[in-house]
Amino acid sequence: MASVAATEHGRTAVYRYGFRRSPDQDAATPVRHPVVVVGAGPVGLTAAIDLALRGVPVVILDDADRIGEGSRGICWAKRTLEIWDRLGVAAGMVEKGVTWKLGKVFCGDDLVYAFDLLPEDGHKMPAFINLQQYYVEGALVERAAGLDGIDLRWRNKVVGLAPGNDRARLAIETPEGRYHLDADWVIAADGARSALRDLLGLSFRGVTFEDQFLIADVRMAADFPTERRFWFNPTFHSGQSSLMHRQPDNVWRIDLQLDPRADATEEQRPERVIPRLKRVLGDIPFELEWVSLYRFNCRRLDRFVHGRVIFVGDAAHQVSPFGARGANSGVQDAENLAWKLAAVLRGEAAAALLVSYESERMQAADENIAHSTRSTDFIAPHSAAERRLRDAVLALAPRAEFARRMVNSGRLSVATVHDSPLSSPDESPFAGIARLGAPVPDAPLRDRDGAQGFLLERLRGTPELLWVADGARPQPPPGVALTVIGEDLVDDAGLFAARFDATPGAAFLLRPDQHLAARWRSFDRAKAGAALDRMLAR
Amino acid sequence: MPRLVTASRFADPDAAYVALVDARRGLSLEAAADLDAKLVLILANHIGDLEVLREAIALAKGAARQ
């Protein structure tokens, strides 16, 4: 593919890509592909890379020719990083990104509440990194470009969609004319203003919040702490909520709540923005990188799977940014879908497996929408009466723990625990933090050669049985990899044992997306086979 | 020895807050104040302990208005 041209610094940092004519455009009849992903954002690229690594060739279509109009998403959660680590892209992001885990909440100028998002050690990935979305997309595009199975086509705009029983036909507009493609499956990752959603005539259900938020990225040399800092009623912003967050390259994100009646065009003019920011930053010299004005939505589609078209990320659901639940949940959609679609395409699972994508990720969307709605209600009360209650919580917070627990400046994204049809219910109780239907917790482990590493980076991306050594190695069902804890990987620190409540002989069946599907106090091949069938919906 | 519990007791404090917000959604300040007065009386009676009630009043009065 025509590759990365340049990273510019200035008002917008941009990676630019060229259009390249595909041989598909000269075919007499539409060429058929197993999977076409529409949208080369973090979610679409994650889905495509995951599928390609599972041996499924993917065509990605994107109507743009560049990345990077502004930082947009900046907070990437631990689970997202674990997914990207499995896909081989996390290391560079973590190195470039700003690692953080502490949040502070101020009322007026006083600290009322502080939180630590990852108070324990023994995880490969941090609680969060902050990294501009253009760097994330740049890294994912580079990874995709290195995979034979991925055909990434810039300036390919989907303008038509004809649904069929066993495929969907896409009409695509390019600088060199229109062509058509057939796809066994279409992944709609085309964002909040999804064209595919419009082409299918689908609409959202949910709420739009009245208050507007000014989102500005500024470049400055400041020594503010590497923490998420949130203010209710700060003196520097006349009683409205504010958020400040550090990004790499001396870029800082500042969110300022504005009045619902504020004029959107007027408020984005530098003559308006810069004085506002000066009140926040005082005498520190800064340069305005990017500014945008948002009104938040909390809403989702009724269904995510529409025949052969499957919606992921913002195309399927939207939340306010307080909690970093937008892009992070989208990446988790992509991972949830990729192994299932690959298993269906390889004939290892029936298409019914995709029903679990919808049920699991609609649960996640509902959870994220609920959290995001609560946070937004707290940050931007709907009326004077609601604001009075909110301010009472803030007034009590310094002196009463119960009130501190109600202070809500955003509950930050953690992996969803899915109540999943793919999970086999526990037969005996397990303590620890591992949960059925959730990604398993990481733990430091040492391999046979004495190399220190972590559990998640050792998982193979297939169905996998973790068995705690207790005599002869068991024989797992066909298609299931075996890792013996105590032999293949050694739990010196005892954190695997604690987090999984792993006793000798205990067995844990993991999905290809590292979610826990079943566990037993001792291994039984027939039970493991039944749990595997259930996990693959067969 | 204070007897008022100020440690968080709700399993899901956000849900408790939402219940209180929902109760006043769409109400004027005046109407919400009426609601709150009734809520105070109901909850005070539920607690049924004058000493705890007095400690709660002192805490509420001592917390500066934001």
Interface of A with B (CB under 8 A): 107-108, 232-233, 371, 374, 377-378, 381-386, 388-389, 391-396, 398-406, 408, 411
pLDDT of A362 higher than 50: yes
What does the pLDDT look like over A406-421, one tens digit per residue?
999 999 988 999 999 9
**A401:B8 CB<8 A:** yes
Query: Is A402 in Cβ contact with B10 (below 8 Å)?
Result: yes
Contact between A217 and A175 (Cβ < 8 Å): no
In a domain, B7, yes or no: no
The CA distances from residue B28 to A267, A388, A392, in Å, are 30, 11, 17
Which residues on adjacent β-strands are paired with residue A37?
A: A60, A187
> Which residues span the domain enclosing B58?
13-62
Residue range A257-283: average pLDDT?
91
Sorting pLDDT into bands at 50, 70 and 90, what band is A260?
confident
Give dist(CA A319, CA A410) in Å, integer: 11
Place of tokens 């004495």: A450
Query: Residue A426's CB: how many other CB atoms inside 10 A?
Result: 12
- The Cα–Cα gap between A468 and A486 comes to 6
Mutate to test the interface with A, among B5, B14, B59 (most CBs of A within 10 A): B14
Residue A373 contacts residue A398 (beta carbons within 8 Å): no
In a domain, B44, yes or no: yes
- Across the interface, of B8, B16, B29, the residue whose CB is closest to A388 is B29
The dihedral sign for the CA sequence A15, A16, A20, A22 = positive
Please give the tally of structural domains in chain B: 1
Coil vs helix vs strand at A56 = coil
CB pairs < 8 Å spanning A and B: 78
Q: Is the pLDDT of residue A367 over 50?
A: yes
B24 lies in some domain: yes
pLDDT attached to residue A5? 32
Residue listed under structure tokens 């709609």: A188
| Below-50 pLDDT ranges, chain B | 66
Question: Does the distance separating the beta carbons of B59 and A399 come in below 8 Å?
Answer: yes
pLDDT of the residue at B63:
66
Record the tokens describing residue A456, joined without a space: 């998640």
Does position A430 have pLDDT exceeding 80, yes or no? Answer: yes
- In terms of pTM, does the model score above 0.90? yes
A1 pLDDT higher than 50: no
Q: Is residue B40 part of a domain?
A: yes
Quick check: A4 pLDDT over 60? no
Best mutation target, A110, A111, A112, A386, to test chain B (most B CBs within 10 A): A386
The domain spans of chain A are: 15-98+131-205+299-369, 444-535
- B60·A396 Cβ contact <8 A: yes
Does B1 reside within a domain? no
pLDDT in tens, A338-352: 999 999 999 999 899
Strands A31-38 and A177-188: parallel
- In this prediction, residue A432 carries a pLDDT of 96
- Separation in Å, CA of A433 to nearest CA in chain B: 18
In a domain, B55, yes or no: yes
Q: Which of B13, B24, B66 sits opposite A405 (nearest CB)?
A: B13
Express each pLDDT in A38-53 by its tens digit.
Answer: 999 999 999 999 999 9
**Residue A143 predicted with pLDDT over 70:** yes
Q: What is the pLDDT of residue A530?
A: 98
CB neighbour list of residue A143: distance below 8 Å, 6 or more residues apart = A45, A49, A87, A88, A89
Q: How far apart are CA A227 and CA A104, in angstroms?
A: 7
By Cβ distance, the residue of B7, B28, B63 closest to A401 is B7
Q: What does the pLDDT read at residue A3?
A: 31
- Mean residue pLDDT of chain A comes to 93
* pLDDT confidence band for A459 (50 / 70 / 90): very high
Chain B residues with CB-CB distance to A405 below 8 A: 8, 10, 13
Q: Is it true that domain A444-535 has CATH number 3.40.30.120? A: yes
CB-based contacts of B38, cutoff 8 Å, min separation 6: none
Residue entry with tokens 């064209």: A195
Most confident of A221-230, A261-270, A367-376, A424-433: A424-433
- Asked if residue B29 is part of any domain, the answer here is yes
More confident residue, A413 or A181: A181
Q: Residue A118 has what pLDDT?
A: 85
Architecture of the domain spanning A15-98+131-205+299-369: 3-Layer(bba) Sandwich (3.50)
Mean pLDDT along residues A108-128: 91
Of B18, B25, B65, the CB nearest to A382: B25
Within 8 A of B8 by CB-CB distance, chain A residues are 401-402, 404-405
- Higher-pLDDT residue of A239, A23: A23
B48 in any annotated domain: yes
Say which residue the tokens 């398993």 belong to: A440
